Amino acid sequence: MAKISANDMYKNRIEQIKYDLQQEYYKGKRKSNNKIKKLSEEKERLEKLVRW
């Protein structure tokens, strides 16, 4: 069983957040500003933890 480092998990989550944000922006008027704000904050927090 391969070990997954925390760094890899953070990178994967950042990619998922980018995808989710893109989906919200495509919704136009129906987008949830609260969801966008929360995802953006989580992305910023994770980017500080990741060592690229």
Domain ranges of the chain: 6-51
Name the pLDDT band for 12 (thresholds 50, 70, 90): very high
**What's the average model confidence in pLDDT over 16-21?**
97
How many CB atoms sit inside 10 A of residue 4's CB? 9
Contact 10, 49 (CB under 8 A): yes
pLDDT, position 1: 60
Looking at the chain, the whole-number percentage of residues with pLDDT higher than 90 is 81
Name the pLDDT band for 8 (thresholds 50, 70, 90): very high
